Chain A
Amino acid sequence: MFVLDALNYASDWLDGSLAFRWSCRMGVCGSCGALVDGTPRLTCAAPIPETGEKVVIEPLHNFPVQKDLVVDIGDFMEKLGRVEPWIIRERERALEEGEYPQKPEELEKYDQFSACINCMLCYAACPVFAADKEFIGPAAAALGYRYNLDSRDEGATERLDLLTGGAGAFDCTFVGECSIVCPKNVDPALALQRIKIDAALTSLKSIMRRGK
């Protein structure tokens, strides 16, 4: 029995007005996040203790609550678009030329960051986002950065600006809560950290170039 099963039991048989999102019930659509006993969890993957203790379920923190467990994630969708999560290239390869070769070890470099299911648990856990809703946040940063690490992409410089501009990656204080709650081991904290390093290196390089 998972928390989601309990929610479904309640809405099916006790009170049909209970509102919560779910679809896949297999931990991949990312829609069923909530606070379970204070921790951001996927309700479809959070077991109910067999000991019969009470479980407290609340909407995810840091988002406007629309109804019951349904929170507004429109802001994330907008941020996702802002980091240009697509392959950027000077010259696009024609379809007839076939695939871009990419070695398994090159795939390995960004694979983990591409595993994000947009469940928003990390935003609910993030103290920086709690204080400043402008903050780009863990998932959008990881998803943007994923393309920077992709051997097919040539947009890293442009995207680094987007990832660090405004309330960007440098606002992250490296609390690391996001990576702890992430159900898919994306480790967005690592992405944020590496964005900062990449950006620092890039500006160092340009300073040095100017110095020459």
Chain B
Amino acid sequence: MVEKFSHDIAIVGAGAAGLRAAIAAATFSDKLSIGLLSKVYPMRSHTVSAEGGTAAVLKDYDSTDLHALDTIKGSDYLADQDAVELFVREAPSEVIQLEHWGCPWSREEDGKLAARAFGGMSVKRTLFAADKTGFHLLHTLLQHSLKYPGIVRYDEWFVLSLAVEDGAVRGLVALDLRTSELAFVSASAVIVATGGAGRMYQFTTNGVIKTGDGMAISYRAGVPLKDMEFIQFHPTALPGTGILITEASRGEGGYLKNKDGERFLSRYTPEKMELGPRDILSRALVQEIREGRGFEGPFGAYLLLDLRHLGEKVIDSKLPFVRELALNYAKIDPVKEPIPVRPAQHYTMGGIHTDVNGRTPLPGLYSCGEAACVTINGANRLGSNSLSECLVFGRRAGQDAASFALSRRERDHNPGGDRSVSSVQYVSLAEEKMNRLLKKEGGQERLAEMREGLQSLMETKVGIFREEKGLREALREIRELKGRLPSAKVDDRGRTFNMEMVHAFELDFMLDVAESVAYSALMRQESRGAHFRTDFPKRDDKSLEGPDKGQEVPPGTDTRELLPGVRSKVPSEDVRLGCTQLRE
């Protein structure tokens, strides 16, 4: 007997985007029943780790035009400019909304919200809650969401697949981690807010739960992924763990230095220095290391982030978490010593293709947050835009899904829509997959070995610098891993918190996402934003007219992710070449 649940809307993911969507739907109508599923308790979602802040125009000296322009430039002209305009217009009221709900934003002396400088933002427009912005945002959203009886949480439920019938989404299949029981959740609308996929890389600032599940699940349901080649590397993470040292530390005035004590960015981005876009900075760090001006450490080469001149008072009031992290995880007190840093994977610009209302091409399926690609980020996201993105597009997706689900409900006269969905069929497909793992005999290779294989090939072949040969190898190796995954050795045959099974599913999802990243990177024969091809080091604005340049499509690859690029209204200038210029 398959357990069945029914909601008007099912939301997968309870980070900033999923929670914002849930609250938006609940306030849209209290008639709606909203299922909120998350593979971890909501407050564990990786939004919790966001440190620096949330961008929105709230200051007299600022304007939404300027925010839009910064975002578009930051995106290396690949952002959808209409979407950006809408985004910058709506971000301020979202920040205020969070303020009204109790978010402890940091303040000026007069009680107004305080703003700080951030990379790529031409004025101080990043609102913050000390350096725990994501933490406070997430907890505020979760606590506020408890107010709404319409939101029914499924904490520690792992979503495996979507049910699609008659060309529309009808629900999903989820696994209760406590019992490993599968359930069918029927819903008129499903919102995928599962976050990014950083864990496919060896060095990442992402938590272990960021495995791209929602992207893979949607892709498998026939929904296109977009801009997957654009992976952001953050210039300052701790070597070894990849723990992030927020850009706010540079926003507050920190310096990046090499072995010679030189602020080397003067050779790469002399005007913006430490506040240049992340893609340029990350490449600059790698370049410095390659040219022998880094330090050697137990976890590879690194450079230094120096905060000493800010003084203890500023560090403790504006960057307390940075001090805590450096003390705990690098045994360094930033008040007294510079912090060792290196670039690490940080953000997935690409994701599930949506419009500004979060709609995907599959009726009833929505996406928002890092899992989605609207796109306001284009080839490079500006720091502090993504929390605002979660809020703005979380709300929009929640509202649109709510009105969609209501219209369905009126038509079908029961929540969750028409009952004819063959739920049993979807569940038994998932069941089969699960049993293949649980009941499997033999197997040699450990899952960890395969996961590390993926992470190291992504790091070396689909990392900050890419070229055709490596990308082709990466694709071949990813496909090989896919072939090997079913023969993995599994130890756990139990049904209670079988984390090994969860990790197997996650690796399976990550392999799909990794393939789309490597494939899209191979297809884009230019360098733009975070995507740098050593064999095509220049930006090629012809690509803005559409990415399909008639390259060979390797067999077995779905080309759905190749969506036309977005046209520029703001003419692209030659302002952002960074390392490209150096190479010439």
Residue A80 is within 8 A (CB to CB) of chain B in the complex: yes
Residue B470 is within 8 A (CB to CB) of chain A in the complex: no
| A144 and B48 alpha carbons, distance in the complex (Å) | 20
Closest B residue to A18 by beta carbon equals B499
Given contacts A26-B49, A99-B99, contact A77 B41 (CB under 8 A): yes
Interface positions of A from 82 to 108, Cβ below 8 Å from B = 84-87, 92-93, 95, 98-104, 106-107
Interface positions of B from 235 to 254, Cβ below 8 Å from A = 241, 243-244
Residue B146 is within 8 A (CB to CB) of chain A in the complex: yes
Interchain Cβ contacts under 8 Å between A and B, 23 examples: A13-B446, A16-B499, A17-B500, A18-B499, A20-B499, A23-B208, A25-B208, A26-B241, A28-B48, A28-B132, A29-B40, A29-B46, A31-B44, A85-B143, A86-B101, A87-B101, A95-B96, A95-B100, A103-B109, A104-B106, A104-B108, A107-B106, A115-B132
| Residues of B contacting A74 in the complex (Cβ-Cβ under 8 angstroms) | 155
Closest B residue to A97 by beta carbon equals B96
7 more A-B contacts (CB under 8 A) besides A19-B496, A106-B111?
A24-B207, A28-B49, A28-B135, A29-B44, A66-B496, A84-B147, A117-B43
The answer to whether A12 and B448 touch across the interface, beta carbons within 8 angstroms, is yes
Residue A45 is within 8 A (CB to CB) of chain B in the complex: yes
- Distance in Å from the Cβ of B260 to the closest Cβ of chain A? 31
Residue B490 is within 8 A (CB to CB) of chain A in the complex: yes
| A81 and B146 alpha carbons, distance in the complex (Å) | 6
| Residues of A contacting B487 in the complex (Cβ-Cβ under 8 angstroms) | none
Residues of A within 8 A of B (CB): 11-13, 15-31, 45, 66-68, 70, 73-74, 77, 80-81, 84-87, 92-93, 95, 98-104, 106-107, 110-111, 114-118, 143, 147, 150, 152-153
Spot the interface stretch: B69-77, B263-271, B323-331, B519-527. Answer: B323-331
Checking A25, A92, A107 against B100 with a beta-carbon cut-off of 8 angstroms, the contacting residue is A92
| A41 and B273 alpha carbons, distance in the complex (Å) | 40
The answer to whether A11 and B110 touch across the interface, beta carbons within 8 angstroms, is no
Closest A residue to B503 by beta carbon equals A16
- Distance in Å from the Cβ of B137 to the closest Cβ of chain A? 12
| Residues of B contacting A17 in the complex (Cβ-Cβ under 8 angstroms) | 491-494, 498, 500
Write out, one digit per residue, whether chain B residues 200-211 have a CB within 8 A of any chain A CB (1) or not (0): 000000011100
Given contacts A87-B102, A95-B93, contact A26 B40 (CB under 8 A): no
Residue B436 is within 8 A (CB to CB) of chain A in the complex: no
- Distance in Å from the Cβ of A139 to the closest Cβ of chain B? 11
| A16 and B494 alpha carbons, distance in the complex (Å) | 11
Residue B413 is within 8 A (CB to CB) of chain A in the complex: no
Write out, one digit per residue, whether chain B residues 83-115 have a CB within 8 A of any chain A CB (1) or not (0): 000000000010011011110111111111100
Residue B136 is within 8 A (CB to CB) of chain A in the complex: yes
Residue B447 is within 8 A (CB to CB) of chain A in the complex: yes
Residue B497 is within 8 A (CB to CB) of chain A in the complex: yes
| A115 and B494 alpha carbons, distance in the complex (Å) | 36
The answer to whether B143 and A153 touch across the interface, beta carbons within 8 angstroms, is no
| Residues of B contacting A23 in the complex (Cβ-Cβ under 8 angstroms) | 40, 44, 46, 207-209
Checking B45, B321, B324, B500 against A16 with a beta-carbon cut-off of 8 angstroms, the contacting residue is B500
Checking B43, B109, B112, B143 against A29 with a beta-carbon cut-off of 8 angstroms, the contacting residue is B43
The answer to whether A22 and B208 touch across the interface, beta carbons within 8 angstroms, is yes
- Distance in Å from the Cβ of A23 to the closest Cβ of chain B? 4
Closest A residue to B490 by beta carbon equals A16
- Distance in Å from the Cβ of B320 to the closest Cβ of chain A? 10
Residue B472 is within 8 A (CB to CB) of chain A in the complex: no
| A80 and B140 alpha carbons, distance in the complex (Å) | 12
The answer to whether B243 and A66 touch across the interface, beta carbons within 8 angstroms, is no
Checking A77, A99, A116 against B112 with a beta-carbon cut-off of 8 angstroms, the contacting residue is A99
| A17 and B502 alpha carbons, distance in the complex (Å) | 11
| Residues of A contacting B497 in the complex (Cβ-Cβ under 8 angstroms) | 19, 66-68, 70
Interface positions of B from 308 to 340, Cβ below 8 Å from A = 321, 324-325, 328-329
Interface positions of B from 480 to 512, Cβ below 8 Å from A = 489-494, 496-500
Given contacts A26-B49, A73-B41, contact A45 B102 (CB under 8 A): no
| Residues of A contacting B7 in the complex (Cβ-Cβ under 8 angstroms) | none
Residue among B105, B208, B209 with the highest chain A CB neighbour number at 10 A: B208
Interface positions of B from 352 to 391, Cβ below 8 Å from A = none
Residue among A68, A93, A118 with the highest chain B CB neighbour number at 10 A: A118
| A143 and B104 alpha carbons, distance in the complex (Å) | 13
The answer to whether A16 and B146 touch across the interface, beta carbons within 8 angstroms, is no
Residue among A26, A92, A153 with the highest chain B CB neighbour number at 10 A: A26
- Distance in Å from the Cβ of B490 to the closest Cβ of chain A? 6
| A103 and B108 alpha carbons, distance in the complex (Å) | 7
The answer to whether A86 and B147 touch across the interface, beta carbons within 8 angstroms, is yes
Closest A residue to B496 by beta carbon equals A67
Residue B125 is within 8 A (CB to CB) of chain A in the complex: no
Residue B419 is within 8 A (CB to CB) of chain A in the complex: no
Residue B178 is within 8 A (CB to CB) of chain A in the complex: yes
| Residues of A contacting B321 in the complex (Cβ-Cβ under 8 angstroms) | 28
The answer to whether A16 and B99 touch across the interface, beta carbons within 8 angstroms, is no
Given contacts A66-B496, A87-B102, contact A26 B243 (CB under 8 A): yes
